[in-house]
């Protein structure tokens, strides 16, 4: 009993922190192709959809991200981040 009380007193907000991290993570589900290394399509928790190239499980190369609000980012992606279009 004493050890569980000590454990609880050391981590009083442990579960809150875990839930916060889970709720702020953006998860994706690969619905077509290869979303690890190759060409694939993924949908995201917020309603967005990415169609394009992937490398190491991240958007990388030519691709189009369509957001739930209708916004679109089409162009070059590197390590999961939008870089821009070739013309920029």
Taking only the tens of pLDDT, the chain with its 88 residues reads 454 444 445 545 443 333 333 333 467 899 999 999 999 999 999 999 999 999 999 999 999 999 999 999 999 999 999 999 875 5
Specify the pLDDT at position 53. 98
User: Are the C-beta atoms of residues 41 and 31 closer than 8 Å to each other?
Assistant: yes
Total tally of structural domains belonging to the chain: 1
Strands of the chain, DSSP E: 28-33, 38-44, 49-55, 58-66, 72-78, 81-84
- Flag whether 72 is in a domain: yes
Q: In which domain, by residue range, is 60 found?
A: 27-84
Specify the pLDDT at position 87. 58
Calpha distance 88→67 (Å, rounded)? 21
- Flag whether 22 is in a domain: no
Specify the pLDDT at position 35. 94
């Amino acid at each position: 009993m004493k050890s569980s009380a000590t454990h609880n007193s050391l981590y009083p907000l442990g579960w809150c922190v875990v839930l916060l991290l889970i709720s702020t993570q953006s998860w994706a589900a690969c619905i077509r192709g290869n979303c690890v290394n190759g060409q694939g399509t993924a949908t995201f928790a917020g309603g967005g959809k990415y169609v394009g190239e992937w490398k190491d499980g991240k958007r990388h190369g030519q691709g189009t991200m369509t957001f739930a609000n209708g916004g679109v980012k089409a162009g070059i992606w590197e390590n999961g981040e939008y870089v821009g279009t070739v013309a920029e």
